[in-house]
Structures are given as structure tokens and as C-alpha cells.
Amino acid sequence: MSHDAPLEAQEHTEHAEHAAHMRDPFISKVSITVAVLAVLAATAGSLETVEGGRAIAESSEAVLAQDQATDAWNEYQADSLKRHMYDIAAESGLSHFKDDSAAERGVQTKARAKAGDAEKERDIKRLESARHESRHHWLTGAATLIEIGIALSTVAIITRRQSFWLGAMGLGATGMALFAIAYVS
């Protein structure tokens, strides 16, 4: 979200306090609802930003791990070519190349293991990125519904209609359900 959620939460709380001073019980209840929803929206919005950042960071680390795997596989291929050259030389009667061929086989084994480890790391980072991205999307929905609930509460104050207030609380509850799903799923 591009706005400053903590600042908006403070502004909504101040408006709610001002409305509460009017000494109308309905206005006071709706004002408290606005204050609670503002805090929830600020929390969901902040966590949404955090999860989005984590998704990007994990994705970047997955790309780096893939680069390491690619480098290791390239090293493996180069060592394979050298080993084959040593094998050809050894078969051609230059027996001292047999030791070089065996050494290259060991280097290849290490390169293969390095590539495999980097690919495992890449896969882990991709899964982590997807998990954070999923949370980000759920939190976006949560923050949006809660903010709509705040707007609907304002309409309830202006019109003094309980149906708008109940709708605002329903949106807030649905937003909180999405918030919970973000961390349960």
C-alpha cells in the first residue's frame, strides 16, 4: 500500500475521539469501531509490506542460487571434457594421463554435489518466496476490506444508520479472517 498506515490509524483514532465527545451512544460505538478498524488496517498494511519485501528477497536469493547451480554445472561440463581428453590420451598409450582422468572424476563429483546443493537451495528459496507472496496477497485483501469498513463506519456516523455500522463490522471481521488465513495457510 502506498499510504502511511500508522499515520492514518492515528488520524482515524482522533476523529473517533472527537465523535465520542458528542455523547451520542451510537456515535461512540461507531467511533470505537473506527479506532479498532484503523489499528487493524495499519497492522495488516504494515505486514503486507513486510511480506512483499520478503517475497522479493527470497526470489532474489533463488536467482542467486540458480546462478551458483549453473556455474557448478558449467564447471562439471568443463571437467567432463578434460576427463574425456585425458581418457583419450591414456587410451592412446600415454598412461600417465590415467591419474589425471581419475583426478578429474573427483573434481566432477564435487562440482555435481555443489550444483545439486545450489539447486536445493534455489527450490527452498522459491517456496519461501511463494509463501511470502501468498501472505502478501491475503494481507492486501484484509487491509482493503478493513479500510472499506472504516469508510462504511464514517457513512454510519453521517447517516446514523446501524445497518452501515453492522456492515462495517462485517467487513472488519472478514478482513480479520483473511488476515488469519495469511498466516494459517
Long-range contacts of 16-22 (CB under 8 A, 24+ apart): 19/157
8 phi and psi angles, rounded to 5 deg: -65, -40
What was the pLDDT predicted at 59? Answer: 95
* pTM for the full predicted model: 0.73
Q: pLDDT grade, residue 1 (50/70/90)?
A: very low
> Residue 45: pLDDT above 60?
yes
Q: pLDDT grade, residue 127 (50/70/90)?
A: very high
> Residue 71: pLDDT above 80?
yes
What was the pLDDT predicted at 3? Answer: 62
Long-range contacts of 82-89 (CB under 8 A, 24+ apart): 83/108
| Alpha-carbon gap, residue 67 to 39, rounded angstroms | 42
